[in-house]
Amino acid sequence: MKLSNIFGILTDLRFAIIASAKPTIKAIRDSPSLLFHLQELSKIIFYNVWIVYGREADENRQPMKESLITANSKGTVLDLGAGFGATVRYLSKDKVTRYVAIEPNVMMHKHIKDTAEKAGFSEVDGSLVVLSCGAEDYKVIGSALGGLGTVDTIVSVLTLCSVPNPEQTIKDLVVKLLKPGGEFLFYEHVQSKKKDVSFWQWFWTPIWKTCFDGCALNRPSDEYVRNLPYWEPIPESGRDSEGKQVGVWGNPGEEEEHLWWHQIGRFIKSS
């Protein structure tokens, strides 16, 4: 692996520290007890980093998101780790009846609501639901949505890296919340299949995780989803009857030897 790919993360860390230092210090000054609540502090840091980098992260991925999210989302859409609500901008009002944003960082909620309103989803008519629980709280999500088995589409963009107990969480979401025929769509950075890259992902994860609200670089989230026994068989062509991609595939043009190695996935739950 190239040294620039191994140690480039230090530049990312430096930018993140620069972006979040002022507001984080102010938050500690206003509430010194934050120093004893590292998880809360990490949320403040991540919020301020995402204010600076969230839009860029979204804009660079627009074509991929259109072909994954816009083309396949319908009915009730559960957005895991909604952040500032970037996903709602890719949902078509003609096909999507309810946008459900799962976002434990409540600092993000005002942004989610503003973005969703602009996209035509509103809490007033019930087409927008914002929940502060985690993706792992499937019971809370189910009861807020009026029952289990009520979700048509689950979307996860750069979130499975942060959820606790990801294998069980993904399974619960698919088994308990997703309807038969519903789809699980994801775009995630995952554990590399290359040994040297996965070693460095493992090496950097403790530092990165501490600064970025639990974000792990070394999770095989794509495998966790793919290995579930609830999916319709994937055709050999990797495309469904409409010619749309299904299964797991890579980000076109992305370097393989990268600490943030992304995989894109689309799975359909068996009826």
Ligand X SMILES: C[S@@+](CC[C@H](N)C(=O)[O-])C[C@H]1O[C@@H](n2cnc3c(N)ncnc32)[C@H](O)[C@@H]1O
Nearer Cβ to ligand X, position 33 or 39? 39
Which are the contacts of 18, defined by CB distance < 8 A and separation ≥ 6? none
Write down the least CB distance from residue 190 to ligand X, Å: 14
Write down the least CB distance from residue 223 to ligand X, Å: 19
Write down the least CB distance from residue 165 to ligand X, Å: 9
Do β-strands 261-268 and 247-250 pair in parallel, antiparallel, or remain unpaired?
Answer: antiparallel
Write down the least CB distance from residue 224 to ligand X, Å: 14
Nearer Cβ to ligand X, position 167 or 240? 167
The one-letter amino acid code at 132 reads: S
Nearer Cβ to ligand X, position 157 or 174? 157
Nearer Cβ to ligand X, position 197 or 216? 216
Distance of CA 154 to the CA centre of its chain: 10
Cα–Cα distance measured from residue 261 to residue 220, given in angstroms and rounded to the nearest whole number: 11
Cα–Cα distance measured from residue 146 to residue 122, given in angstroms and rounded to the nearest whole number: 18
Cα–Cα distance measured from residue 134 to residue 6, given in angstroms and rounded to the nearest whole number: 31
Write down the least CB distance from residue 237 to ligand X, Å: 29
User: Which residue spans within the chain are E strands per DSSP?
Assistant: 75-80, 96-102, 128-131, 151-157, 178-190, 247-250, 261-268
Nearer Cβ to ligand X, position 49 or 248? 49
Write down the least CB distance from residue 80 to ligand X, Å: 5
Nearer Cβ to ligand X, position 183 or 213? 213
Write down the least CB distance from residue 222 to ligand X, Å: 16
Please name which of 42, 58, 225, 236 lies closest in space to residue 158, comparing C-alpha atoms: 58
Give CA separation, 160 vs 29, 163, 258, in Å: 32, 5, 18
Burial class (CB in 10 A: 0-12, 13-18, 19+), 138: buried
Nearer Cβ to ligand X, position 48 or 199? 48
Q: Residues interacting with ligand X, by CB under 6 A?
A: 54, 58, 80-83, 86, 102-105, 108, 134-136, 157-159, 162-164, 213-214
